[in-house]
Amino acid sequence: MHDLAFVFAGFCVGLIVGLTGVGGGSLMTPILIFFFQVKPYLAVGTDLLFAAFTKMGGTVKLARSKSVEWRVVLNLSAGSIPASLITLYVLHTLGAASSTVQHIMTTTLGGALLLTAAATLYKALRGKASPASVAAGQEAAAARPRHWSLPLLFGALIGSLVTLTSVGAGAIGVTVLMLLYPLLPLPRIVAADIAYAVPLTLVAGLGHASLGSVDWPLLAKLLAGSIPGIWIGSHLMFKTPERVIRSLLSVLLAYAGLKLISL
């Protein structure tokens, strides 16, 4: 019965990800900690690989349709991958299962969920603010950030945050990209965010696996539910009130964030 509960949880998260594009980490990690009493370090490590595998299919689909702005992906990855490796080294040094690291993880995760809640609400209210398309001859300008150093800096911050909490590459990443690349259309921002999350979560997830922070049987059950959930959600995307769903999600994420901080 417990196995079916994990599969159902994976399906529900996959459905919401398919419907809204909100990062699975901001949903799955709190569910594992609160409902299934999974240790924070195991929840984070398992969820990182869960995110990598679920977003991999989406990235392949987006790459085939030539929707991914690879220059943006490379700029962010240049900051996030090294930051992830440094964070993994710190976790290895301190011990991922130590009480100090567990407290840091839950507190940082709470803060990340609050940021995600704010970013989700912002996107629900202002999601249409970015241009719908790029004018002819403006492709290079649209893929140029406000300053060359900003993608490296924000990439490093997101890389550390994702490695420590498994949260940050979804709604927070999209909001950061909207601010750094104001001329880039929203569909391309979302595509770039999904694409760069794959190498980041894969590196961070495999790093956690080397620390013994991944529950492989649990990962298999979550994926068994999420894959059909994402497929169904993506097909229902245009038939649901996305703004209402995002607003409700932001309230739930804020509640989970406050609860984690108070642990």
Q: How many Cα atoms within 13 Å fall on the side-chain side of residue 66? A: 0
Higher-confidence residue: 66 or 247?
66
- Do 164 and 113 contact (CB within 8 A), yes or no? no
Per residue in 40-98, pLDDT tens?
A: 999 999 999 998 888 887 788 788 888 888 999 999 999 999 999 999 999 999 888 88
Mean pLDDT on 114-125 = 80
pLDDT at 115 exceeding the cut of 80: yes
pLDDT at 239 exceeding the cut of 70: no
d(C-alpha 192, C-alpha 186), whole Å = 10
d(C-alpha 219, C-alpha 226), whole Å = 10
Where would I find the H helices in the chain?
A: 2-20, 25-34, 40-64, 70-94, 99-126, 139-142, 149-165, 171-180, 186-210, 216-236, 242-261
Q: Which domain holds residue 31?
A: 2-261
The model's pTM: 0.84
For the chain, how many structural domains are there in total?
Answer: 1
pLDDT at 213: 93
Per residue in 135-176, pLDDT tens?
A: 545 666 667 777 888 999 999 999 999 999 988 777 788 888
202-213: b (≥16 Cβ within 10 Å) or e: bbbbebbbeeeb
What token pair was written down for 10? Answer: 């994976």
pLDDT at 136: 47
Q: What is the mean pLDDT of the chain?
A: 84
Q: What percent of the chain has pLDDT over 70?
A: 87
